[in-house]
Structure 1
């Protein structure tokens, strides 16, 4: 038995008996890291992660490359830390996607808030809908840097065709924390609308998400111009 095995078993049993309710954030990280760092003191590593990022949510949304700058965090641990929140989000979206009807900007915006939760870079999503607004597919189109992501028009159109969408909602986030559309956002919206129109698919909205809020270009009157 290794020097840390007895401590690890106590922590595991504590979790199995009572869940994470009584765990401090660094203790929860310590437990998770057991499964990527087999023979080191993960308590120390967990403290270093919390000191670097300031909160548990910030640790779990940090880039893999940056996580590896923390002493004791190798590639396996960094990937595990990145995987856990994304896996949970994927499960929530899968549950939410069962017979979801996004026939209003409020419903679509609230759905997209979950999609963008924890994102640090700008990401573009495409929601494909049928004629009644039922969600057929949610596609992650691209990811850019902290401030920009380029829309792949060909992929946007291809997705709509393959899925048989009648309408599409385009969405991206502003990592800066301001959801107001930029001039580039309007240009992108028009490019997407014209491209989808060539295959008979409506661009129903372009929703911009930032800091737990969203702005709908449809609600702002842009699509009625």
Structure 2
């Protein structure tokens, strides 16, 4: 038995009996890192991560490349740290989409705030809805840098047709700005509306998300005709 095996087993049993509620943030990281770093004391590594990033959420959203700058964190450990929260988020979104009815701007906004959580770059999403507002699919249309993402109009139309959508809501984020549409956003909205009209699908909104807030272009008076 290695020098750290006894401590590791106590930590595992503590988690199995009571979950993570009684764990300090660095202890939760220490436990997670057991499964990527089998033969090293992960306690000082966990402390180093917390010191570098300042919070547990910042550790779990840090880039893989930057995580590897912390002594003791190799590629496998960095990927595990990145994977854990994204796996939970994916499962949560998947469950939500099973019976998600986006029948109001508030519901759409709440859904999109969850969808865009943690995004560092600008991303474009397409929500495909049936006649009752039930979410049929959420499709990523594109991802750009920190300032821009192109709108793929052909994929937009294909997604609407393949999902049998009656309506589409576009959304993208402004990672480094405010949730207000730009002239490029208005132009992209017009292109999308025209293309969807050809196949008989309505573009009912284009929502911009930024810094925990969102703006509905439909609510602002656009897309009303």
Listed one character per residue, the Cα deviations across residues 59-88 of structure 1 (whole Å, up to 9, x for unaligned) are: 111222222222221111111111111111
CA distance 1:65–1:151, shift in 2 (3 Å): farther
What are the ranges of 5 or more consecutive residues in structure 2 without an aligned counterpart? Answer: none
In the comparison of the two structures, how many residue pairs are matched?
225
> Structure 2 matches for 1:202-213, cutoff 5 A?
202-213=202-213
Is the 1:127–1:170 Cα contact (8 Å) retained in structure 2? Answer: yes
1:9 Cα deviation after fit: 1.0
- 1:181 and 2:185 correspond: no
Q: Within 2, Cα distance between the matches of 1:147 and 1:52? A: 26
Aligned twin of 1:29: 29
Aligned twin of 2:75: 75
TM-score (norm 2): 0.94
Is the 1:61–1:120 Cα contact (8 Å) retained in structure 2? Answer: no
CA distance 1:66–1:198, shift in 2 (3 Å): farther
1:224 Cα deviation after fit: 2.1
Aligned twin of 1:127: 127
- Give every structure 1 segment of 4 or more consecutive aligned residues whose post-TM-superposition deviation is greater than 3 Å: none
- 1:44 and 2:39 correspond: no
Q: Within 2, Cα distance between the matches of 1:78 and 1:151? A: 32
Q: Within 1, Cα distance between the matches of 2:187 and 2:43? A: 49
1:177 Cα deviation after fit: 4.9
Q: Over aligned residues, Cα RMSD in angstroms?
A: 1.5
Q: Match of 1:224, SS?
A: coil
What are the ranges of 5 or more consecutive residues in structure 1 without an aligned counterpart? Answer: none
1:101 Cα deviation after fit: 1.4
Q: Within 1, Cα distance between the matches of 2:54 and 2:84? A: 18
Q: Match of 1:52, SS?
A: helix
1:200 Cα deviation after fit: 1.5
TM-score (norm 1): 0.94
Is the 1:168–1:202 Cα contact (8 Å) retained in structure 2? Answer: yes
